[in-house]
Amino acid sequence: MKIWIVLLRGINVGGHHIVPMKELRQLLENNGFEKVSTYIQSGNIVCSYPTNPSHKISTLIEQKFGFKPSTFSLTVKNLKSVVENNPYPGDGGKTVHFFFFHSSPSSVDYKTLDDVKAENEHYQLIDNVLYLHAPDGIGRSKMVDKIPKAFAKAEMTARNLNTINKLAEMVEE
C-alpha cells in the first residue's frame, strides 16, 4: 500500500456537492482504502491504496453522492516537493495559495495575470503548481478570477499554505 494525498475539487462549496467527511471515510474504507483520514470539509484526504486512487475515488463519490468531482492525487514525495518548491515559505498560511494542475500547463497567458496583479502580489508556476502570494487575501485578489482564463481553463484545485502544511503533518504521523 502506498500513501496518497488526494485533493477533491469543488465539494462542500456554497451548499453544493455535499460530501460529509465521515461518510466519505467510511465509503473509502469499505472499498479497500486503508488509514483514511480527512482534513476540513473541502476534500482533503490522506489514505493508503496500492495505485493512484483518483479514478476510484471520483467514481465512488459519483455512485454515492451523485456527482463526479475532479481529483488530484499526490504521493508523499510529490507533496514534499510542492512544499520545498514554495517560493513564499516565510509568509502566512492564508496568504500563500497553491493551485494544482493535473500536469504542467502547456500554455499560459501571463499577460492576463499581470494586467490585474496587485503591486504586492506575486506568483510563480513550478511544474504543475501555481504558487500565489496574495498578502491582502485571496478574496481581494483580482488575479484569482483570471487564473482559469490564463491557463486555458485547465482543471485545477487550490489550497492555502495552512492546509498544505497540515496535510504534510498528517502524512508524517
Taking the C-alpha atoms of residue 132 and residue 11, their distance in angstroms, rounded to an integer, is 22
Read off the pLDDT of residues 63-121 as tens digits, 9 standing for 90 and up.
999 999 999 999 999 999 999 999 998 767 889 999 999 988 988 999 999 999 999 99
Among 12-21, 38-47, 56-65, 134-143, the minimum mean pLDDT is found in 12-21
Block residue for cell numbers 493508503: 48
Whole-number pLDDT of residue 93: 82
* pTM summary value: 0.94
Select from 64, 14, 8 the least CA-distant residue to 39.
8
